[in-house]
Structure 1
Amino acid sequence: MSNLAGMAAIVTGGASGIGLATAERLSEGGARVAALDLNPGAVKDPMTGIYCDVADRASVRSAVVQAADALGGIDIVVNNAGIGAVGTVEDNDDDEWARVLDINVTGMARVTAAALPHLRRSARAAVVNTCSIAATAGLPQRALYSASKGAVLALTRAMAADHVSDGIRVNCVNPGTVDTPWVGRLLDQADDPQAERAALNARQPMGRLVSAEEVAEAIAYLVSPAAGSTTGTSLAVDGGMQELRLRR
């Protein structure tokens, strides 16, 4: 648990869901952690909460400066902040397409760009982007969201190629459906929330939703020195959803 001792990490969307679980896991592993979020007041000690809107470049730059000052530098960036979208290509207008892509894709580029000067000074620099099973498998009613996460997967590989010479590793995690507050809100909107949850459980070969803590554990590995030769890759945490084809 102490393999991150002495490292400084920023986690976007770090006040809830996967982001919170990741911030807590990195802190437990010995890292100094700043959670960058629209709701920094929800972040508890020993982590530092900092306001950040990843859709606003000035906000991102300010948050990264504050984080670097508070932590004494930045070794780890976890780009986790993102939003969902439901529907086919008929169901989201141009403004919604622009908003989701701006937050889910360009937001990761903004945060990483702002952190690069600090990462280049680190001997153990690592970036992990939260991608999704939606990047590698066709899911119904997720056209816009899938497009954004497909872009995250491509962005991860491009960033890894660009910055390997800087000594910065870049990877992503591809979670399946994770039991987070966001998924809970989607379920609450269904006509039969219990039936919808059962269907989501059944869609994953292990028969249950992924936990935020399981995704956080994968992220903690990828940012740790133990993964020192791993870059440009995606790690599925999906209960076998992408690769397994079971007979029911």
Structure 2
Amino acid sequence: MTETNFPQGAAMVMGGTGGLGAAAARALARDGSDIALCFRSKRDAAEAIADELRGLGRSVSLHAVDATDPATIDAARDAAVAAHDRIHTMVWAAGPLVDQLYLSQTPLEKWKRAIDVEVHGFFAATQALIPHFREQGGGSFVHLGSAGDLAWPPRDGLSVAPKAANESLVRGIAREEGSYGIRANTVLVGVIDAGMFHELLAQGQFDDKWVAEVKAQLPLGRWGQAEEIGHAVSFLASNRAGYTTGQQLAVAGGYGI
């Protein structure tokens, strides 16, 4: 890709210090987009990623955002617009570490926290960006969802159910905002050999039996790589996907077939 494959401005990456958020930011930067990198608490990690992206010749701004506090989202939007003149895409890669629990064993407080971050946070971010996108004649949302939307993975309800709510929001935005040139799409994420998966493995939440059973369900027979999610995000944010909206792109090794 070249710079002409994106509208003017920057991609705003929520959750930019996570394994998938960072991969999305790298792919977008390599393909020609400037970046507004949003983080919650890991400023040092954000600075390191920003330096890396600047080394690719991109303009990068950093913004502290708490997904549960809409005021911080609004402030980040305003600062990103001031830095880049325009935001052309918002990538939603924010989210907490997800404990693997059966629904029957899920504490209500954990459920409320997942909904607050994933659903309320995504909704607040879209509300913050839609007026800006309308003013600029268009924009796009790229939501990192779960391949669990294709086939239910036991014990992953704290991730799959909130992200399923966001799938409805993505379709609603695509339908309601299309006349303003606003697109909304999802990358359905499978098991990716990075970030959260590594943390859950280290905690012992996945055992050898789980690994064998899940790999047996994958036609490609392997875990995905973070950069493969980044490639999908970059495509959906680019002009090459200009006639694509309200869609799910599963990057999951064939899970759910």
Work out the CA distance in 2 between the residues paired with 1:192 and 1:119: 41
Work out the CA distance in 1 between the residues paired with 2:206 and 2:168: 36
Percent sequence identity is: 33
Work out the CA distance in 2 between the residues paired with 1:193 and 1:30: 40
1:177 to 191, 202, 225: 191
Work out the CA distance in 2 between the residues paired with 1:25 and 1:40: 20
Q: Is the 8 A contact 1:52 1:60 kept in 2?
A: yes
**Where do 5+ consecutive residues of structure 1 fail to align?**
244-248
Amino acid at match of 2:18: S
Q: Is the 8 A contact 1:35 1:49 kept in 2?
A: yes
Work out the CA distance in 2 between the residues paired with 1:104 and 1:118: 22
Shift of 1:174: 0.4
How do 1:1-248 and structure 2 match up within 5 A?
A: 1-2=1-2, 3-4=5-6, 6-38=8-40, 39-43=42-46, 44-45=50-51, 46=54, 47-83=60-96, 84-190=98-204, 196-243=210-257
Amino acid at match of 1:229: Y
Match of 2:57 in 1: none
Q: Is the 8 A contact 1:4 1:26 kept in 2?
A: no
Moved more, 225-234 or 141-150: 141-150
Work out the CA distance in 1 between the residues paired with 2:256 and 2:23: 23
Provide closer, same or farther for how the CA distance between residues 94 and 192 of structure 1 changes in structure 2, counting only shifts above 3 A.
closer
Work out the CA distance in 1 between the residues paired with 2:205 and 2:148: 23
Work out the CA distance in 1 between the residues paired with 2:6 and 2:206: 43
Length, aligned pairs only? 243
Q: Is the 8 A contact 2:67 2:122 kept in 1?
A: yes
Shift of 1:159: 1.2
Amino acid at match of 2:43: P
Q: Is the 8 A contact 2:17 2:39 kept in 1?
A: yes
Report the aligned-residue RMSD.
Answer: 1.8
Q: Is the 8 A contact 1:5 1:29 kept in 2?
A: no
Work out the CA distance in 2 between the residues paired with 1:97 and 1:5: 38
Shift of 1:164: 0.7
Work out the CA distance in 2 between the residues paired with 1:36 and 1:65: 13
Q: Is the 8 A contact 2:184 2:246 kept in 1?
A: yes
Provide closer, same or farther for how the CA distance between residues 75 and 32 of structure 1 changes in structure 2, counting only shifts above 3 A.
same
Work out the CA distance in 2 between the residues paired with 1:149 and 1:231: 17
Q: Is the 8 A contact 1:157 1:232 kept in 2?
A: yes
Shift of 1:234: 0.6
SS of 1:62's partner is helix
Provide closer, same or farther for how the CA distance between residues 5 and 28 of structure 1 changes in structure 2, counting only shifts above 3 A.
farther
Shift of 1:202: 3.5
Moved more, 5-14 or 158-167: 5-14
Shift of 1:7: 3.4
SS of 1:209's partner is coil
**Where do 5+ consecutive residues of structure 2 fail to align?**
55-59
Shift of 1:90: 2.1
Amino acid at match of 1:28: R
Q: Is the 8 A contact 2:193 2:223 kept in 1?
A: yes
Q: Is the 8 A contact 1:190 1:196 kept in 2?
A: no
